[in-house]
Structure 1
Amino acid sequence: MTQRILIILGHPASDSFCATLGQHYADAAREAGHDVRLLKLGDLAFDPILRLGYRQEQPLEPDLLEAQEHITWAQRLVLVYPVWWGGVPALLKGFLDRILLPGFAFRYRSGSPFPEKLLAGRTAHLLVTLDTPPWFFRWIYGAPALHQMRRTTLAFCGIRPEKTLTFGPVLHSTPRRRQSWLQQVRALALH
């Protein structure tokens, strides 16, 4: 079944290994007949700081309005990002802070501590790079960048995380190892 897929590159550099992962996913998904869009956060012009929280509306820049349109269009989101200091890069965090707003991603309900999930019906794949061995990141650090994205960001808005692939350590990885990671991404995207 053909899907509408939005790939969000959360690494600021277009020549990063994350960018290569995202492009491989896009190429394989198109090969499988899916409709694919690629959003490179490093190419967007926006203020990544939600300056007043939710106390006052901060107008969205044109690139963020277009990003919201892409998210509304998508059936599956693919987030590609590195783990930096145990979390997502500031650019990705700022992007999420600015666009996943009340009225778009969720809606507060009177008398309920749990909001309405306005992005329900969408799924997500996460492609995450590390310079820490994935087992160490999971069992010693507790995988905070994965839990934050899956549970307290995507699921909060109604997006169901389906699959997470972690790749690491990327630092000093061999071309052969990187090629095997790209094959995993290709296999995931072909579904």
Structure 2
Amino acid sequence: MGRHIAIIQGHPDPGGGRYCHALAAAYADGARSAGHRVDLVDVARLDFPLLRTKEDFEHGAAPPSVAVAQAAMAAADHLILVYPLWLGDMPALLKAFLEQSFRPGFAFGPQQPDGKREGGGLRGKSARIVVTMGMPAFAYRWLYGAHSVKSLSRNVLGFSGMRPVRVLLVGTVEARPAARQRWLVRMEGFGRRAQ
């Protein structure tokens, strides 16, 4: 019996056809060929508002489209997040989706009177973050510290209990067509192994 995988496609273009879509599709193809179950959440096609208040974040209900995505993530053994690097971070639409979905009661507990929270709502799951970028990946990692990916892996996924959280940085995606093909093959392999 294979694993259950949820792929969060975080590219904000609802038309598809971007390299992030190709990477996610390669992963899904590899996973399905190995007998894993795959749920795809295409964030660009979901309808949800921005969170604007702490009260809504703490006590509001997730919009219906986000609740469906939460169910896919809750059922999964492994989570894949794929997105392009925009202005040094994830696109705003993906950030808004994560704010809507990683709420108290789903990803972690409510805030305590002392201000602390109990994490671990998604304990027992693993994750992989895949980020594409125009710059070389080593420049983002070593010169810029990969700050946004570190925050996502530690402060969101890690705090929610996911372990391990692996990171794949795919650099210079627009300048190297041969490398793009190699990354697709690599992603298919990750899918087969559910990594």
Fold match by TM threshold 0.5: yes
Q: Which aligned pairs between 1:80-119 and structure 2 lie closer than 5 A?
A: 80-107=82-109, 108-109=111-112, 113-119=116-122
How far did 1:156 drift? Answer: 1.0
Cα distance in 2 between the residues matched to 1:157 and 1:129: 24
On the 8 A contact 1:150/1:161 being kept in 2, the answer is no
Deviations along 1:23-59, one digit per CA (max 9) or x if unpaired, are 1100100001101111100111111x21112466334
Equivalent position of 1:128 in the other structure: 131
Give the gaps of 5 or more residues in structure 1: none
One of 172, 186, 189 as aligned partner of 2:188: 186
* Separation of aligned partners in 2, 1:87 and 1:146: 8
* Correspondence for 2:21: 19
Contact 1:50 1:58 in 2 (8 A): no
Q: How far is the alpha carbon of 1:110 from its aligned partner?
A: 5.6
Tell me whether 51-60 or 124-133 shows the greater mean CA deviation: 51-60
Root-mean-square deviation over aligned CA pairs:
1.7
Letter in 2 for 1:10: G
Q: Which has the higher contact order (CA 8 A, sep 6+)?
A: 2
Q: Which amino acid aligns with 2:104?
A: P
- Does the Cα contact within 8 Å between 1:10 and 1:92 map onto a contact in 2? yes
TM-score by length of 2: 0.90
Matching of residue 169 in structure 1 with residue 172 in structure 2: yes
Offset at residue 114 of structure 1 (A): 4.6
> What amino acid is the match of 1:94?
A
Q: Secondary structure, in 3 states, of the residue corresponding to 1:169? A: coil
Tell me, in whole angstroms, the C-alpha distance in 1 between the residues paired with 2:6 and 2:71: 11
Distance 1:124 1:140 in 2: 25
Alpha-carbon displacement from aligned partner over 1:56-82 (angstroms, at most 9, x marks no partner)? 633422101111111111110000011
Residue matched to 2:75: 73
Q: Distance in 1 between matches of 2:43 and 2:119?
A: 27
TM-score (norm. length: structure 1)? 0.92
Q: Which runs of 5+ in 2 are unaligned?
A: none
1:190: Cα distance to partner? 1.2
d(CA) in 1 for partners of 2:137 and 2:158?
A: 22
Q: After the TM superposition, which of the residue ranges 37-46 and 160-169 deviates more from structure 2?
A: 160-169
CA distance in 2, matches of 1:184, 1:96: 26
Check the 8 A contact 1:154/1:161 in 2, yes or no. Answer: no
Return closer, same or farther for 1:180/1:94 CA change in 2, 3 Å cut-off.
same
Cα deviations across residues 79-107 of structure 1 (Å, max 9, x unaligned)? 00111111111011000111111111101
